[in-house]
């Protein structure tokens, strides 16, 4: 999991602003994921991408957008349409093959709306 | 879609005792069940996983059991130590995708406290 990086570690946003969270991996993984973590809520899937130039909505995609132009990168944009964006955001990646179901997580970005 | 229930939400044990965390899932097609440990402010890290063709798996002090008929699986930690204190999440695969990656549905977590 050391091959997945997220930046920034902390992010502050004013209401009405869009912000983009970075996720990069050098594990040569095909699939990447974005989760949101709130206290007592576990991890909830926002978006996932199985391959470059393709992505699918997860359970809570409203107010978020993603792109997957490169295998290594899967940035998440939190738009002003997301009404309660303050949370801990985790990126993960995985790849098909033996034992490849395992998702490896990045260190996370804590977003706070001021 | 898949629904994963996890119990208890908090668990306190004395150092050296055993801890058991239980999860149930709803989708009988689920076939992969990982457990993650998350320390405060850190990323979740996989500690053990089990596939539906296996009933039990053990790794040192950690074991996971799976009952497909009842659709529940459990994490067992023996001889607990203070460094086992963390939040533990169970998960179940939701559906297979064309690229071979599995979506995971997570339980809400169990905060384990090991008292020295």
Question: Has residue B95 got a pLDDT over 60?
Answer: no
What token pair was written down for A24?
């990069």
Q: Cβ–Cβ of B108/A41 closer than 8 Å? A: yes
Mean pLDDT of B79-108: 79
What are the DSSP E strand ranges found in chain B? Answer: 4-7, 10-14, 19-25, 32-38, 45-51, 56-59, 62-67, 72-77, 86-96, 102-106, 110-115
- Interatomic CA distance for residues B30 and B13, integer angstroms: 31
The model's pLDDT over A17-64, given as tens digits with 9 standing for 90+, comes to: 999 999 999 999 888 999 999 987 889 999 999 889 999 999 899 999
For testing contact with chain B, the best of A49, A101, A104, A109 (most B CBs within 10 A): A101
| Chain B residue with minimum CA distance to A96 | B100
* pLDDT confidence of residue B30: 84
Residue A111's DSSP bridge partners are A11, A87
At A96, list the tokens. Answer: 């098909």
């Amino acid at each position: 999991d050391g091959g997945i990086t997220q930046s920034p570690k902390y992010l502050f946003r004013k209401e009405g602003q869009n912000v983009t969270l970075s996720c990069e991996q050098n594990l040569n993984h095909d699939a990447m994921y974005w989760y949101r973590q709130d206290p007592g809520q576990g991890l909830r899937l926002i978006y996932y991408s199985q391959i470059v130039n393709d992505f699918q909505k997860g359970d809570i995609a409203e107010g978020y957008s993603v792109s997957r132009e490169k295998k290594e990168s899967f940035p998440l944009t939190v738009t002003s349409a997301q009404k309660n964006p303050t949370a801990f955001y985790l990126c993960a990646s995985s790849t098909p093959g033996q034992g490849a179901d395992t998702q490896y997580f990045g260190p996370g970005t804590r977003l706070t709306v001021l | 879609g898949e629904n994963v229930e996890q119990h208890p939400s908090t668990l306190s044990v004395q150092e050296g005792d055993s801890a058991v965390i239980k999860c149930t899932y709803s989708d009988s097609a689920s076939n992969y069940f990982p457990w993650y440990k998350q320390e405060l402010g850190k990323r979740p890290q996989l500690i053990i996983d089990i596939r539906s063709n296996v009933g039990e798996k053990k790794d040192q002090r950690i074991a996971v059991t799976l009952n497909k008929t009842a659709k529940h699986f459990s994490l067992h930690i023996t001889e607990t130590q203070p460094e086992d204190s963390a939040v533990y999440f169970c998960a179940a695969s939701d559906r297979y995708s064309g690229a071979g990656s599995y979506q995971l549905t997570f339980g809400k977590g169990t905060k384990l406290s090991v008292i020295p």
